Amino acid sequence: MPERVYIFDTTLRDGEQSPGVSLNIREKLQIAHQLARLNVDIIEAGFPFASAGDFRGVQAVAREVRGVTVAALARASAPDIDRAWEAIQDAEQPRIHTFIATSDIHMQHKLRMSREAVLETAVEAVKRAKGYTSDVEFSAEDAFRSDVEFLCRVLAAVIAAGATTVNIPDTVGYAMPDEFGEFIRQVLEGTPGIEKAVVSVHCHNDLGLAVANSLAAVRNGARQVECTVNGIGERAGNAALEEVVMALYTRREKYGLTTGIRTEEIYRTSKLVSTLTGMPVQFNKAIVGKNAFLHESGIHQDGVLKERTTYEIINPSLVGINPSNLVLGKHSGRHAFRERLRELGFELRGDELNQAFVRFKELADTKKHITDEDLEAILDETIRQVPSTFELEYLHIFTGTTVKPTAVIGLLIEGEFVQDVSCGNGPVDAAYKAIEKATGRKYALVSYVIDAVTGGTDALASVTVKVRDEDRVYTGRGVSADVLEASARAYVNVLNKIVYDEKTRKQHN
């Protein structure tokens, strides 16, 4: 029986720290439920002490998501640890994850603490956390740049104090795979009592080596990998969950290790995280990128047609990318639509199915064939969104090379029809100004991105916008065969998220 590597997913904590990413509670829950379907071992739901919103998000995940350990991050301080426990105490399997830096550069310049003070603080933090739950993880921040003998002393002390997992991060992505593997080996050999804890690693991707370093650590005895979906996170991100998992699976004869991940859920999880964070996946991204299983070279195409394994080391269906014989168009019925969604892994019923089917029919009138990517875009726009305060009724645009762009917008605002008009520097600018006049809401636009969902002149346009409201960034998405309509839908969507967040905060105050 192969040894188990535990997958600790920190998409909702470190992943959300990606610049420009801000998830509301509903979105965090959607991702958390999908991570549970993916069968990760641990979900790090957030940093409860950081803000009231983060606390509520962690608490919601702890209360609603079952079958998985839910962890909360806390600095090595009593208020942080108490707040973390308050957030996760209703979890089926709660874990407190506490940390303090152990490198000389961090202790001297950031903490301004001596080695002995750091060691004492780490032990006291673990003891306090242990008073709340039996599952306590300790992280030595910037471990790789720490003196290895001091690090071993700290880890031995926190294990004696009750830590059940000890994490050795490469916090700034400085390590090379050979030296990181050797570092892990030294820690395992030099830490008394290390056999009583699971050894974990958390590698950042500043030099593009996070996955390689994680695998080197596993090869040398680490049995938990901390990672994120699509590799998102601080700066250049973290080790990508899908790459770590599929490397261990594809080269299992080399590693002799297994994970509990349901690999067929990988692609769907990637799409959901990309949509809700507003962070597109690069086309050539391993495992989940648009080009990951495409072959353009004639030699490659010939080889794959004769025998798939000539140029594909992973069967696309293994990660949830499945071809279908069902071709959907405007004449397709509800049964075929529902069946294709089932093949993609989405089980819709009732109002969700009706809403998605209506949107499918609207788009089918503008396209000859609806692809799987189109269906995913429809779902992104319908079932995964917040309740609507604003609904787009119509958009009329008047523009041209000799015409001042003018937009007429029709909205339903909490059921009441409102119309307004505005001019702008371009048609999108005019549409957004008209929406702002109609809703009485105006925000700074952080980014505006257009992506064609598929190829062809009838391709759906997917527009993602990010706006800033004080210290928070919100992401909205809209899809349509018309770029301007997609743009308007994206802006209306982001306004709905802001209003939903405002209402949620009021309910908790």
Instruction: In whole angstroms, give the CA distance from residue 360 to residue 436.
Output: 28
Check if the beta carbon of residue 27 is closer than 8 Å to that of residue 385: no
pLDDT above 60 (res 304): no
The domain ranges of the chain are: 3-277, 298-381, 390-508
Tell me if the domain spanning 390-508 has CATH number 3.30.160.270: yes
pLDDT digits (tens, 9 = 90+) for 193-248: 999 999 999 999 999 999 999 999 999 999 999 999 999 999 999 999 999 999 99
pLDDT at 20: 80
**What percentage of the chain carries pLDDT values higher than 90?**
67
State percent of the chain over pLDDT 70: 94
Q: For residue 144, name the pLDDT band (cuts at 50, 70, 90).
A: very high
For 20, the token pair is: 């420009």
For the residues 82-104, what does the mean pLDDT come to? 98
pLDDT digits (tens, 9 = 90+) for 33-74: 999 999 999 999 999 999 998 999 999 999 999 999 999 999
The fold adopted by the segment(s) 3-277 is TIM Barrel (3.20.20)
State the pLDDT confidence band at 460, using cuts at 50, 70 and 90. Answer: confident
Q: What is the pLDDT of residue 221?
A: 97
Spatial strand order in the sheet of 390-400 = 390-400, 403-413, 416-423
State residue 299's pLDDT score: 60
**DSSP string covering 242-296, please?**
HHHHHHHHHTHHHH-EE----GGGHHHHHHHHHHHHT-PPPTT-TTTSTTTT---
Q: Is the dihedral of CA 436, 439, 445, 449 positive or negative?
A: negative
Hey, do 3-277 and 390-508 end up sharing a CATH topology, with the first three levels equal?
A: no
Q: What is the Cα 393 distance to its own chain's centre? A: 32
Pairing between β-strand 257-258 and β-strand 3-4 as defined by DSSP bridges: parallel
Please check the confidence at residue 186 and state whether its pLDDT lies above 90: yes
> Token pair 């396209």 is at which residue?
367
Confidence of residue 324 (pLDDT cuts 50, 70, 90): low
With beta carbons less than 8 A apart as the criterion, state whether 36 and 63 touch: no
